[in-house]
Amino acid sequence: MDFSQSGGVERSELIFFLSSMLTILGIAFFAQWSILSNITSTIIIFFSHPAGIGDKVKILDVEFAVEGEIVDIGLFFIVLQGSDGSVLSIPNNLFLQKAVVRQRRPRPRSKTKED
């Protein structure tokens, strides 16, 4: 018994349908990986504290360098404010994957008996 005659579906239509479904699944898995990568990076940033709000950072890449002060650390992005006032959103996974030069914000001195 030939499948293409029994179900009313031609082989080319079945192949087209299956390849379309595999493409959609591939895109969905890629999007899921990106989201999970950012969430995992957020957890790593939270526990390892490589930088904090108020720290000045420079993120180095082969093609560009991004520089600014960290104003927010969110679930998916670290928000930097540039020296010119521009606001930059850097994905958390990029922050962990690239070289980062960090200058900690000045900490307030604790008062001693001499002060």
Alpha carbon distance 70, 19 (integer Å): 44
Instruction: Report if residue 115 sits inside a domain.
Output: no
Instruction: Report if residue 81 sits inside a domain.
Output: yes
Instruction: Report if residue 110 sits inside a domain.
Output: no
> Range of 84's domain?
1-105
Number of separate domains in the chain: 1
* CATH number reported for the structural domain that contains residue 100 in this entry: 2.30.30.520
Q: What single DSSP character describes residue 94?
A: H
In terms of Cβ atoms closer than 10 Å to its own Cβ (0-12, 13-18, 19+), residue 70 is buried
- In the structure encoding, which two tokens stand for residue 27, read together? 């895109």
Q: Are 79 and 88 in contact (CB under 8 A)?
A: yes
Q: What is the mean pLDDT of residues 71-89?
A: 92
Instruction: Report if residue 10 sits inside a domain.
Output: yes
Residue that wins the pLDDT comparison between 106 and 93: 93
Instruction: Report if residue 112 sits inside a domain.
Output: no
| Chain segment 32-72, per-residue pLDDT in tens | 777 888 888 888 888 888 888 999 999 988 888 889 999 99
Whole-structure pTM value: 0.62
In terms of Cβ atoms closer than 10 Å to its own Cβ (0-12, 13-18, 19+), residue 74 is exposed
